[in-house]
Amino acid sequence: MPRTTLFVNVINPILRLALLLTITRAAAAVADTASERLDIDRSGTLKRTELRSHAQTQLTRSARPAQHGATIFEFVLPTASSGPGSITTGPDGNLWFTEVSGNRIGRITPTGEITEFPIPTPDSNTQGITAGPDGNLWFTEFGAHQIGRITLTGEISEIALPTGDANPHSITAGPDSNLWFTEPRQNRIGRITPTGEVAEFPLPTPDSKPDGITAGLDGSLWFTDRSGNRIGRITPAGEITGFSIPTSNSGPSDITIGPDGNLWFTEANAHQIGRITHEGEITEFPSLALDSNPSEITVGPDGNLWFIEPAGNQIGRIIHAGRHMRVAEFPLPTPDSTPAGITGGPDGNLWFTEFSGNKIGRLTLSHHTCH
């Protein structure tokens, strides 16, 4: 498959559909899996006929050494062209992820055993996923305008949002024991309680397209304004403040709390990593290669920041010291795999998704590389 400069967390639905259609057509020649039959309708849309309620598999390819003393394992998903997206660690010690094209929630154990759970609403276009305060996993349904909840045993419930065409995208657990999510199309930040009560907060800047969201150490939620070129902060009471990014049209994408207590974010358009203090002071680090398009970012078990480069087909690591940082990049074994999501695992490894490669990846660092 030719390399693409698109990344999974695109906000523009037309670009997203174009990417999914390319992958769908390429998947037409893929053989059937043990869990379902694949059919292509006349419009070229991939349709799946369930043969059982969920599928389990443990398929791996040989481990391949990456650069800088790391080894990458890849685990093939049982559902062809499922398009794994966001990934998070669950309270059960497993990794949970969304399957954007396959319309499923997936679970993989640290040893590589995969289970998939179909989402009741067809074509939900599930996106973000996070562990909730109630011991369940919560996820967004971008296409169905719903928030989903899945128990550790795989029972799924869905909650419709009050705003039509809400298109919920990223989601995180807040310091107030609620779930918070972004609505890029409606230009809102949403909040949902574990019992399903929803509140929505409009952003003051029109067409900001909020993208990533995370909880800060100050008791607020911090988010990226992709089109507004800002980092936003919203209190649990709904008070919103924006901080402009110095680089114009930087395309802020994902955001996370860093090991230093500050917020770190990716700039997909500017190919940079940014840092913002809780007081709003922003520093940018232009240390990445052009066309790297950094997207999701997380803290790894080694205490460093890790991020994905969908266009560069690499995983990046940041070791920071004061106003300087050092970047290491780890090429993926599968060409053009389009890494999409990343998280630190309970086993001390980094786990990530490969949207086009249809795999879950595990990056293991050697002992000396962790220092």
Q: What per-residue confidence (pLDDT) applies to 270?
A: 94
CATH class (in words) of the domain with range 13-370? mainly beta
With contact defined as beta carbons under 8 Å apart, do 222 and 263 qualify?
yes
The DSSP result for 126-163, as a single string, is EEEEEE-TTSSEEEEETTTTEEEEE-TT--EEEEE-SS
pTM of the complete model: 0.83
pLDDT band at 366 (very low <50, low <70, confident <90, very high): confident
**152-170, pLDDT tens digit by residue?**
999 999 999 998 899 999 9
Contacts of 243 (CB under 8 A, 6+ apart): 230, 231, 232, 233, 276, 280, 282
Q: What pLDDT sits at residue 36?
A: 30
Q: Which helix (H) or strand (E) holds 281?
A: none
Which pLDDT does position 321 carry in this prediction?
A: 61
pLDDT at 13 over 50: no
**Average pLDDT in the 346-366 region?**
96
Give the rounded percent of residues in the chain with a pLDDT score beyond 90.
Answer: 74
pLDDT at 316 exceeding the cut of 50: yes
Quick check: 216 pLDDT over 60?
A: yes
- pLDDT, one tens digit per residue, over 58-78 is 444 445 555 557 899 999 999
- For residue 95, the model assigns a pLDDT of 98
d(CA 111, CA 92): 14
pLDDT in tens, 26-49: 333 333 333 332 222 222 222 332
> What was the pLDDT predicted at 6?
33
